[in-house]
Amino acid sequence: MSELERFSTELEFVQLLANPAYLSFLAKHGYFKKPEFVNYLEYLQYWTQPRYLKFIRYPQCLHFLKLLQTPEFRDNLTKYVPTLLLYSVIIFKLSFLTPSGSIGNGTAN
């Protein structure tokens, strides 16, 4: 695999972490119980460095990447309620926060 292919693959995977359904899928299929997968998530934290941030289109993926470093968060993803809560938070932010991060009226300007 070339460096560009690896970069693209890792970028795509990191951004998939923004999807609560995908996180739930990984949890329910036991990925978060595998030490090598947890180590991979730790390795992927390089995406939080300023030189890589410009490539991220879904910044919430970095928040989830950070949360995935904790066993409690990984364990809670196997439950239905936390996944629904993650969806609710994302929908709220997308619906009511302006690009500057302040609360708007939920309508496009």
- Among the ranges given (17-26, 63-72, 80-89), the one the predictor scored with the smallest mean pLDDT: 80-89
For the stretch 4-47, pLDDT in tens is 999 999 999 999 999 888 998 899 899 999 999 999 999 999 99
CA 69 to chain centre: 11
Residue-range domain boundaries for the chain? 3-96
Domain 3-96 has CATH 3.40.50.920: no
Q: Which two structure tokens, joined as six digits, stand for 75? A: 């364990």
Per 3-state DSSP, the chain is made up of helix, strand and coil in percentages (nearest 5) of: 70, 0, 30
Nearest Cα to Cα of residue 41 among 82, 72, 70 = 70
Question: Does residue 106 register a pLDDT over 90?
Answer: no
Per the structure block, which two tokens stand in for 103? 């609360």
